[in-house]
Amino acid sequence: MPIATVNPANGETLKSFDALGPEETERRLTTADSAFREYRTTGFDMRALLLNRAADLLDEDQQEIARTMTTEMGKPVKAARAEAAKCAKAMRWYAANAERLLADEHPADADVRDAGASRAYVRYRPLGVVLAVMPWNFPLWQVVRFAAPALMAGNVGLLKHASNVPQTALYLEDLFRRAGFPEGCFQTLLVGSGAVEAILRDPRVAAATLTGSEPAGRSVASIAGDEVKKTVMELGGSDPYVVLPSADIGKAAATAVTARVQNNGQSCIAAKRFIVHTEVYDAFAERFTEGMRALTVGDPAQESTDVGPLASERGRADLEELVDDAVRRGATALCGGARPEGLGGGLDGGWFYTPTVLSGITPEMRIHQEETFGPVATLYRAADLDEAVALANDTPFGLSSNVWTQDAEEMGRCVRDLEAGGVFFNGMTASHPALPFGGTKRSGYGRELSGHGIHEFCNVTTVWYGA
């Protein structure tokens, strides 16, 4: 895949970049290794000062970087601004909390004596150079939620970003440089996916984190495993959105629309499978379909646009294949199910797809098991809570889940039985720096954000003093 900015709203290639050659890649690895040896000795006050500067600069750059993201991957510009603001918030959160999260841990005096020590404690030390392989769908946020905790822990970062967001990737390197981080603390590597293996196997790289597809995760995890290097994997998701009889149906349906089409539907944590109790199925289906049908599809640079184009032509083709297979096998398109017509304004060459709701989904349909990365929702009818939970878990993924109910017993049952890294009641899944983020099953392993996220790339060290 070429390293280039291709506007998904019209298919126009705006700027292309040469991939780094072996000599420049080696120079950057050497620089990162050298930077770690110095940066690891800095204190939390200095790291926080630098990260807060980066947050201030990002706020100043918000309009410009939002336009860049919109141009590179089609995110509606209002969502792009929100993403930039969220990144600045996360930077400030880690700047304020990292020292507390990484404070030495002291076991009880009785346990210290029982261990034969006069003194013992646990210290969190940085691992070193962390390679981040990141996707295009949240091109700032996915990187910052790794970079902010990693840098505050004393690690340094190498970013291999998706090849269709090179300008955003270069902006991130420049942002940390302008904030004052020492040379080599955060570098962007403009390389293709074929170069990842050699970089990951380099002994100067201590660990890796990947957000992306299951095949990409399998590849990076297997290489890292062969090298016995720590990894964090945040992979695909096919999150259930369960609606039970006690729910506020109007609010549940309105929120469902946002939950499905956020980021043009290209989000691992977007709700994708809508599982509705039969008592409220018809009312929910009608309101949800009306909401999806009412969305404005168009130029993502316009403030009035709700849904922009998919990020790539291949992505749209994959989505179309899933929808066509489902319809061919008996599913019904309650709305959408095709490319929009007559957008005008030079958008006819863009990779748009109409917001779609499919009902009548059966297990033999590909869409029942595969992730839909675009504005397509599947609608299921459940006879009771047991069937709703069974449907929710009938997926190889387990990233997050959403449940709408006012019944405390139903809430407890869902917390106990849903196979996911998160259970969100009466709202949509969202990430926040104070809460851990990640999944189970084929959605990956490890956690980002919160104290769990900053601990992932630390050497948890026992310090013991004899009696």
Q: Which residue has the tokens 């290209």?
A: 266
The residues with which 186 forms a beta bridge, in sequence order, are: 157
Within 10 Å of residue 93's Cβ, how many Cβ atoms?
Answer: 20
Q: Are strands 186-188 and 230-234 parallel, antiparallel or unpaired?
A: unpaired
pTM over 0.85: yes
Q: What is the pLDDT of residue 467?
A: 85
- Among 83, 173, 234, 371, the active-site one is 234
Q: How far apart, in whole angstroms, are the C-alpha atoms of residue 84 and residue 220?
A: 28
Q: Which amino acid is at 105?
A: E
Q: Pseudo-torsion of CA 28, 32, 33, 39, nearest 10°? A: 160
DSSP 295: P
Which pair of tokens denotes residue 266?
Answer: 């290209």
Question: Which candidate, 75, 26, 55, 89, places its Cα nearest to that of 172?
Answer: 55
Q: How far apart, in whole angstroms, are the C-alpha atoms of residue 452 and residue 126?
A: 14
Which pair of tokens denotes residue 360?
Answer: 């009548």
Q: What is the pLDDT of residue 344?
A: 86
Which pair of tokens denotes residue 67?
Answer: 């336009």
Taking CA 259 as the corner, what is the angle to CA 253 and CA 264, rounded to the nearest 5 degrees?
Answer: 125
pLDDT < 50 stretches in the chain: none
Q: Which residue has the tokens 């204190």?
A: 43
CA distances 402 to 344, 393, 409, Å, are 37, 12, 16
Which pair of tokens denotes residue 399?
Answer: 């990233």
Instruction: State the greatest distance between any 2 C-alpha atoms of the chain, in Å, as a whole number.
Output: 80
Active site residue 268: yes
Active site residue 234: yes
Which pair of tokens denotes residue 425?
Answer: 């009641």
Contact 98, 446 (CB under 8 A): no
Q: What is the pLDDT of residue 1?
A: 76
User: What is the percent of the chain with per-residue pLDDT over 70, rounded to a whole number?
Assistant: 100
What phi and psi values does residue 231 have, to the nearest 5 degrees?
A: -135, 155
Q: How far apart, in whole angstroms, are the C-alpha atoms of residue 5 and residue 69?
A: 10
- Among 268, 335, 414, 458, the active-site one is 268
Question: Which candidate, 300, 145, 312, 78, places its Cα nearest to that of 213?
Answer: 312
CA distances 395 to 101, 219, 241, 318, 371, Å, are 34, 21, 13, 19, 9
DSSP 406-464: --HHHHHHHHHH--SS--EESS-----TTS-B--EETTEES-BSHHHHHHTTEEEEEEE
DSSP 105: B
